[in-house]
Amino acid sequence: MSRPIRLEPSLREKVWGRTHLAPWFPDSAVKIGEAWYLTDRELPLLVKLIFTSERLSVQVHPDDGEDGPRGKTEMWHILAADPGAAIALGFREPLTRERLREATLSGEIEHLVNWIPVKAGDTYFTPAHTVHAIGAGIVLCEIQQNSDVTYRLWDYGRPRPIHIERAVPISDLSVHPGAARPVPIGASHETLVWSRHFVTERVRLEAGEEFSPSGENCQLWIAIAGAGAIGGEAVRPGDVWLLPEEGAQPVVTGEGASFLRTYVPE
């Protein structure tokens, strides 16, 4: 049986990040906004933990083939949220493209997007073309296509480029459906997101419980709470493990553990 591979987190300093990172990482002297989980080869999926103390830009991502072969569809699973924390997904009501352009130039777009209050355990699916922003006071796990193409529509006056000519033509002008509704698979196993780019499940394992996963393409296990082990290797919150794609799979065990399991469907 091939052994699982622990992906190395790469911490990225951001002006909107935070210094308090526990329990996922030790606290930092500088503001950390993102932890990217990397290995020695490029994977089709990229996992990040995102830590916010300020709002991120209002932005949108292209789909496959629009700015390179791979677009950027993503999802967010909320790990922690301060009271009143919110994310923006889509618009409060449908817009015309001309109205979107005007609102982007004036900054009014910040008030036209639909800000949704969030809490730990919520999941949101953000397909390419969805106008979105992450608010302050949030820790979330982002699972995305491995692409970093972002078009900003608004950045609250920060001195960073705005990409109106690229962003406005591809933006979905409709109302987003809101939080994903988990679909139970078993007593402690549920599907959170199913798309052509990735499937994400939540698996909860109490003391002594085991889970034997099937082999999948780019199967990543993200430890989000509690303690457990994968193939006998101890895991803690903030760990991300890559499982072999074929052959016998390592058994996942828990001691009150909660995982996100994500993979690329056939």
Q: Which domains does the chain have, with CATH numbers?
A: 52-170 (2.60.120.10), 183-264 (2.60.120.10)
The pLDDT score that the predictor gives to residue 246 is 86
> In the sheet that 58-60 helps form, which strands lie side by side, from edge to edge?
113-117, 86-91, 132-134, 58-60, 151-154
Could you tell me where the beta strands, DSSP code E, fall in the chain? Answer: 5-6, 8-18, 32-38, 45-51, 58-60, 74-81, 86-91, 113-117, 123-126, 132-134, 138-145, 151-154, 183-186, 189-194, 199-205, 210-211, 217-230, 233-235, 240-242, 252-264
The pLDDT score that the predictor gives to residue 23 is 94
**Which residues on neighbouring strands pair with residue 77, listed in sequence order?**
123, 141
Q: What is the pTM assigned to this prediction?
A: 0.96
Give dist(CA 251, CA 219) in Å, integer.
13
Per-residue pLDDT of the chain (266 residues; tens, 9 = 90+): 478 999 999 999 999 999 999 999 999 999 999 999 999 999 999 999 999 999 999 999 999 999 989 999 999 999 999 999 999 999 999 999 999 999 999 999 999 999 999 999 999 999 999 999 999 999 999 999 999 999 999 999 998 999 999 999 999 999 999 999 999 998 889 999 999 999 999 999 999 899 999 999 999 999 999 999 999 999 999 999 999 998 889 999 998 999 999 999 98
The pLDDT score that the predictor gives to residue 187 is 83
Give dist(CA 124, CA 98) in Å, integer.
27
Give dist(CA 235, CA 175) in Å, integer.
39
**Cβ(259)–Cβ(202) below 8 Å:** yes
Give dist(CA 246, CA 239) in Å, integer.
22
**Cβ(119)–Cβ(23) below 8 Å:** no
The pLDDT score that the predictor gives to residue 208 is 87
Residues 6+ apart with CB under 8 A from 181: none
